Amino acid sequence: MKMWFLLLLIYSSTNTEPVQTQYVKTAELLCKNLGCGGFKEIPRPQWVIGNDYEGSEKMAVDCSGIDSVTSLWQCIRRTQQCKDPVVVTCEGHERLQLQGSPLNVCSGELQERKTEWKPVKKNITNADNLCKKLNCGGVTNYTVDQNLHLTCTDTVKVVLMNNRESKCFGQVYVNVNGSNKAVCGNGWTDKNSQMICKELNCGKSIQLSSKDAATSGVMDYVECLGDESSLWHCKALRGQQLTCKNTPHIICSGFFAETGSVKDGRAQSSSSLQYDDVDEVNEAHPLTPKESTSASSRGNFGQEEVSHQNNGKF
């Protein structure tokens, strides 16, 4: 089955109408023609898998100079010069997640996000398809009481690793059915780090760094809003052939609650090994440094940096 990608070539017909307005008008028309409501946003083009795009037919859309356009087919012309696809998110797109235990983010109450996350109350006809949309495999079981609860075939949890699974600091991985898979660091933000610390009940992210890597990954170009139940339910590029160029490493404030105590704003560690672990993360080059919460010296963090905020949820 062939897939079609649209390259939107937008031209302003007047000097008073900006190109961005023309772009939105064309996107609105596309969403309407697909029966998907209005235009919502332009997501990251990196989320489109390259192989799908490269092997697909190309077309360009140019509606300039055409009066009373009712369909994009009035504006189509073939082209061989498409370099990147334009990706459009329409209002009819479903954003789903499961709210449950961080030990398995592929089991829990099904929720949908409009302006905020709310339980899905509508009847479903294909629970297996919902698990696939959630990147959780197929369905094992689902129940309906007041709300819908799904258990999918995959068991997935977010973990931090420092040679072994560590508490509240380390490199970001996702454990899928017992196998740890790296999360890539392209486009990584502090909001993603805060999401992980919250999910793991580790307080706040106090340091973020990146290390160069050449390893296979399970997610890249991750974008969290911060209210998701898990990093796994954030927007991201996913695929079997992802290769990480760098990987994120984070330290949460809960690391110091686990390994030492805080006196007069100083984190006191109970083990030199744990300090060595922190130094290993500090040696990585900054990804998106937080100047107000960076470590000032070995094991020395400000009072605010080691405060807790135990409020985990997606």
pLDDT in tens, 240-268: 678 999 999 999 999 977 655 444 434 44
DSSP 300: B
CB atoms closer than 10 angstroms to residue 117 = 20
Task: Check the CA dihedral 164-168-170-176 and report its sign.
Answer: positive
pLDDT in tens, 279-299: 444 444 444 434 333 333 333
Q: What's the pLDDT at 7?
A: 46
Task: Please give the structure tokens belonging to residue 241.
Answer: 């052939």
Q: What is the mean pLDDT of the chain?
A: 76
**Structural domain boundaries of the chain?**
4-90, 96-152, 156-306
Element (H, E) at 161: strand 156-162
Q: Is 273 helix (H, G, I), strand (E, B) or coil?
A: helix
Report whether pLDDT(6) > 80.
no
Q: Which of 3-17, 75-89, 215-229, 285-299 has the lowest mean pLDDT?
A: 285-299
* Alpha-carbon span 230 to 159, nearest angstrom: 11
CA 135 to chain CA centroid, Å, is 12
Q: pLDDT class for 21, splitting at 50, 70, 90?
A: low
Ramachandran region, residue 6 (left: φ > 0; alpha: ψ -120 to 50; beta: rest)? beta
Could you tell me if 63 and 26 are in contact, meaning their C-beta atoms sit under 8 angstroms apart?
yes
Could you tell me if 209 and 309 are in contact, meaning their C-beta atoms sit under 8 angstroms apart?
no
Q: What is the largest CA-CA distance in the chain?
A: 74
What's domain 156-306's architecture? Answer: Roll (3.10)
